[in-house]
Every structure is written in C-alpha cells, then in structure tokens.
Amino acid sequence: MFRKRQTLGDNIFDASINIVGVLIFIIMAYPMYFVIIASFSDITAVSRGMVWLWPKNISLEGYKRVLEDGRIWKGYLNTIIYTGAGTFFSLLFTMPAAYALSRRDLAGRNGIMMYFVFTMFFSGGLIPTYLRVYSFGLVDTVWVVLIPFSVSAYNLIIARTYFASTIPLELLEAARIDGCSNTRFFISVVLPLSKAILAVIGLYCAVGQWNQFFTSLVYMRRDELMPLQVILRRILLLNSITTEMLGPDQYDRARLADVMKYSIIIISTAPVMCFYPFIQKHFTKGVMIGSLKG
C-alpha cells in the first residue's frame, strides 16, 4: 500500500495547522507560566511589568509571607480531610444510585432520572438551601461539606451510562441462578468490573473537593474548619490595601499583596498540578465513558 504523495498545498495546510496549534498552546500555557515566574520575582519588578519570560531578581518574599501564617497548615489538613472523605461519600452515594437507575427492571427509573436532570437546570436558590441545611443542624460542621452536596447529577449520568452499556444483563441472570442477591451482585461483580468509572468519578469528586470554596464560605464560621481555599482568600484580603494611600508602608504592603496573589495560586494548585500528569488518561477516558454510543 503506497502513501499518497503530498502536494505543496497539503504541506502548507499541515504547516498552518501546526503553527495554529503552537500558538493556541502558547496562549493557554503562558498565563500559568507567568504566574509561576511572577511568584519567584521581586515585588518591584512585577509591579513595573519587567517580568515577561524569566524571573527578575528572584525573591521568595511572597511565599514567606503566606507560609508564615499558621492557618495555612491547618487549612491544608482540612482540605486533605475534606477531599478524602468527600470523595468517599460521593462514590458511596453516586455509584449505587447510578447502578440502580441503569437497571431496566427498576420501576419509574426514567422519571427518577428526569428528576435528577431537572436539578442541573433549576435550583431552589441559596436561601432555601441554607434554611434546609440549617434545619438539619449541619451549618458550621464538617458534615456540611461532605453530605448535602455529595451527589452530582453529571457524575450520576456518566456512571449510569457506563453501567447500562458495559455490564451485560446475562451476568445478573447467571448470578440470580446461583442465588446471588442484588446487593451481593453489585459489590462482588459490578464494582470489580467498574474500576475505570470508579477512578474517573473519584477523580472528578476529588478535584471538586480540593477546589471547594463557596460551600465553606457560606455554611462555615469557625476558622479551624475552613479549607485551604478560604484561608488563602482571607490572607490575601488582610494584606490587600488600596494604592491610593500615600504612606510608603502602605504602598509596599499593596505591592506585596500583588505578589502574594501569585504565590497563593501556586500553593493552592501545586498538589493538583503534580498529581494530574499521572491521572490525565483517566480524565480522557471519562469523557469517552459518558458519551452516547450509536
């Protein structure tokens, strides 16, 4: 089999596609690269716009000011706990529900599924939700992060699609002949065959919990319960000040706050950035798992 010889027009087209791809990559990657080099640069160099491609007058002042606050380490610990426990509860509630909705013998499963889908487009609003959470006594507790918002309709749809298209009905029939109950079948047969979707949903939940910010800001008051994202926001606000102040101390503090912004971004995203290259293939697989197959 001979390969078709490319014409001059084909070569120009391929080169154009490569150039456009490189430009898109630079446009997407440069903001993150700038944040990294700005976080290691001198305050004055960043504020004067001297930082473009390389750090200028390398300084760790921004990291020093952020990390010297003891609340950072408590926030890191809280976020790790919320991420681990939140992912566990999300899988605990999402996977059985998704499997049940994938079963054809479940009466009214289409109506139940529409009920979940409805929540993706319409919400009761913040105030009714807060009152409901408050009525359960979950406000200002660890459980408000783990329980009320643990099920995502999007993750439920992905898992349901996977179960419906991957787990054959013949397995259930064979298990029933051997006297296997529905619960035993789900635990002993379905879950071992669903490691891919467990990894995908677990990763989605873990990243969502790690970046979780609004829930804690609304439903929590005690500092010892705050996750890392809220702690970093408070540190930044405490060090922020308008540059209209004429005093030199206030002006230096405002410039320091600008550099701290970059340090805070790196500190909050570094664990995910280090972990992501090892799990990237699972995110790609998750997109394909949840797709409709003709």
Are 209 and 251 in the same domain? Answer: no
Please tell me which residue, 139 or 260, carries the higher pLDDT value: 139
- Domains in the chain, number: 2
Please give the pLDDT value at position 143.
92
Please give the pLDDT value at position 246.
41
Are 126 and 45 in the same domain? Answer: no
Of residues 215, 179, 193, 186, the one with CA closest to residue 86? 215
Please give the pLDDT value at position 243.
43
Are 148 and 211 in the same domain? Answer: yes
Q: Which of 166, 195, 223 is the last residue of a domain?
A: 223
Residue 208: inside a domain, yes or no?
yes
Range of lowest pLDDT (25-29, 78-82, 157-161, 175-179) = 175-179
Q: How far apart are CA 81 and CA 7, in angstroms?
A: 59
Q: How many helices (H) and strands (E) does the chain have?
A: 14, 0
Model pLDDT for residues 144-155, shown as the tens digit of each residue: 999 988 888 888
Residue 2: inside a domain, yes or no?
no
Please answer whether residues 89 and 150 qualify as being in contact, where contact means their C-beta atoms are separated by less than 8 angstroms: yes
We report the CATH number of the domain holding residue 170 as 1.10.3720.10
Please answer whether residues 61 and 265 qualify as being in contact, where contact means their C-beta atoms are separated by less than 8 angstroms: no
**Residue 96 DSSP SS3:** helix
Please answer whether residues 12 and 26 qualify as being in contact, where contact means their C-beta atoms are separated by less than 8 angstroms: no
Are 58 and 191 in the same domain? Answer: no
Q: How far apart are CA 60 and CA 43, in angstroms?
A: 10
Please give the pLDDT value at position 294.
44
pTM assigned to the model: 0.77
CB atoms within 10 A of CB 62: 27
CB atoms within 10 A of CB 72: 17
Domain that holds residue 122: 71-223
